[in-house]
């Protein structure tokens, strides 16, 4: 059963620390309001049924101006905004109450408007986590050494880093428990929570974590805006990568091609699931990034990749592009084999590749050919795939 998912975007803060005349969620990055950038990936996720923004008192004109930058189809998906309160906690509660009043049940992703670099993949991870946990939050390992200071500013203690994480949004919750926790905290006049998972902890729930995204920066200080501005305005350069992969046929009754299981009189010899299409595509993307190859990131000697479903390899490569501030424009695939027949599966393969890489269908080409009974593919000893990836990356500084 799939349950409903809502996204609650908290945009009620005044954002004074960022040092401008407008609250930071309405400032522009590369000419586009921060709020608009934040909303775009949530509005593009068809499994999110409701996208509700909590705005500050008196900000409705700013809100209308900001969402004017969205395409009409996206704008039509937005719920009527709700006015927030004094604190972030009050604002989230106002949003939850509005969802409750509309009869919402399901899970809710709570996200700060000041994180405009939230990626489709991170939203996907939050949605997956929300199906499995009452509360789950994106977490990153802490790489800096963390110390505690005393009241004079001198170091009091060096904290053990292994158990420390830093957390982000979107945070994912079962709706009813989160609403109940917020209502209870409000009734108990317990405030000062800086995120919703802290309220769930206070209410006695266990909070799970999933992988955060280092690119998912929170814009807080003026310097953050400078960095973000550089990120969105740096010119992109087009790069092309190629990939090639072969697997030998072996005993078996199916092969994997482009993430689709295809019944066949043979299987393949492989450490993973032996999906030549996804392996070639992964290498093409990594090639365009000049970032090693599938073997360097997923060594065959590492037992954890034994029998692995190859979709994770391509998803990893696509995420590396996003982490570099780039985008994939196009993936093209050619499968070479005498059998199985690929044609009947071509559209399913294109759709699956698009899904794994976070692309539209028209950004994925897939073709198949035989090799006229010549060579190892012609003799039916195995199958091969060639791939090309066209990506854009920010120009190096
Ligand atoms: Mg391979």
| Structure confidence by residue, pLDDT tens digits, 148-192 | 999 999 999 999 888 899 999 999 999 999 999 999 999 999 888
pLDDT score, position 2: 44
Peptide bond into 170 cis (omega under 30): yes
For residue 6, the CA-to-ligand 1 centroid distance in Å is 39
**Which distant-in-sequence residues (6+ apart) come within 8 Å of 149 by Cβ?**
155, 156
pLDDT score, position 134: 98
For residue 380, the CA-to-ligand 1 centroid distance in Å is 17
Q: What secondary structure letter does DSSP report for 154?
A: S
pLDDT score, position 125: 92
Q: What are phi and psi of 349, to 5 degrees?
A: -65, -45
pLDDT score, position 1: 36
Domains plus CATH for the chain?
Answer: 5-233 (3.90.550.10), 236-394 (3.30.1330.50)
pLDDT score, position 71: 86
Q: Give tens-digit pLDDT for 58-104.
A: 999 999 999 999 988 899 999 999 999 999 999 999 999 999 999 99
pLDDT score, position 322: 81
For residue 320, the CA-to-ligand 1 centroid distance in Å is 19
Residue 118: closest CA among 368, 347, 358: 358
For residue 154, the CA-to-ligand 1 centroid distance in Å is 54
Residue 225: closest CA among 33, 39, 29: 29
For residue 264, the CA-to-ligand 1 centroid distance in Å is 18
For residue 275, the CA-to-ligand 1 centroid distance in Å is 6
Does the pTM exceed 0.75? no
Per the CB < 8 A criterion, the answer to whether 116 and 29 are in contact is yes
For residue 216, the CA-to-ligand 1 centroid distance in Å is 32
Residue 136: closest CA among 174, 80, 186, 191: 174
Residues of the chain with confidence (pLDDT) below 50: 1-2
How far apart are the C-alpha atoms of 270 and 275, rounded to whole Å?
Answer: 9
pLDDT score, position 20: 67
**Which distant-in-sequence residues (6+ apart) come within 8 Å of 91 by Cβ?**
10, 12, 13, 54, 84, 85
Per the CB < 8 A criterion, the answer to whether 5 and 106 are in contact is yes
């Amino acid at each position: 059963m799939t349950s409903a998912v809502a996204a609650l975007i908290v945009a009620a803060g005044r954002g004074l620390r960022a040092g401008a005349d407008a609250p930071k969620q309405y400032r522009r990055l590369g000419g586009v309001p921060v709020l608009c950038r934040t909303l775009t990936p949530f509005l593009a996720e068809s499994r999110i049924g409701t996208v509700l923004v909590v705005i500050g008192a008196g900000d409705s004109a700013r809100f209308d101006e900001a969402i004017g930058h969205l395409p009409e189809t996206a704008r039509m998906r937005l719920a009527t905004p709700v006015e927030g309160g004094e604190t972030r906690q009050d604002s989230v509660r106002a949003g939850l109450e509005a969802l409750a009043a509309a009869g919402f049940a399901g899970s809710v992703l709570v996200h700060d408007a000041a994180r405009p670099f939230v990626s489709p993949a991170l939203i996907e991870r939050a949605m997956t986590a929300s199906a499995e946990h009452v509360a789950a939050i994106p977490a990153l390992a802490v790489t800096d050494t963390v110390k505690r200071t005393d009241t004079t500013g001198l170091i009091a203690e060096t904290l053990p880093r292994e158990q420390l994480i830093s957390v982000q949004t979107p945070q994912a919750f079962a709706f009813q428990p989160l609403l109940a926790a917020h209502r209870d905290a409000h009734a108990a006049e317990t405030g000062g929570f800086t995120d919703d998972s802290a309220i769930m902890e206070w209410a006695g729930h266990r909070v799970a974590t999933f992988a955060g995204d280092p690119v998912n920066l929170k814009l807080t200080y003026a310097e953050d805006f400078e960095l973000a501005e550089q990120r969105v305005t740096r010119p992109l350069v087009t790069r092309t990568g190629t990939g090639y992969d072969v697997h030998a046929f072996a005993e078996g009754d199916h092969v994997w091609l482009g993430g689709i299981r295809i019944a066949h009189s043979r299987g393949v010899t492989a450490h993973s699931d032996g999906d030549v299409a996804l392996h070639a595509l992964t290498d093409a993307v990594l090639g365009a990034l000049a970032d090693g190859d599938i073997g360097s990131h997923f060594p065959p000697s590492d037992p954890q990749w034994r029998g692995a479903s190859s979709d994770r390899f391509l998803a990893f490569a696509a995420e590396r592009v996003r982490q570099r501030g780039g985008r994939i424009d196009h993936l093209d695939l050619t499968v070479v084999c005498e059998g199985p027949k690929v044609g009947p599966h071509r559209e399913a393969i294109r759709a699956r590749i698009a899904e794994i890489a976070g692309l539209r269908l028209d950004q994925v080409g897939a073709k198949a050919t035989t090799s006229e009974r010549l060579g190892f593919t012609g003799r039916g000893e195995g199958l091969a795939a060639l791939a090309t990836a066209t990506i854009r990356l920010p120009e190096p500084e």
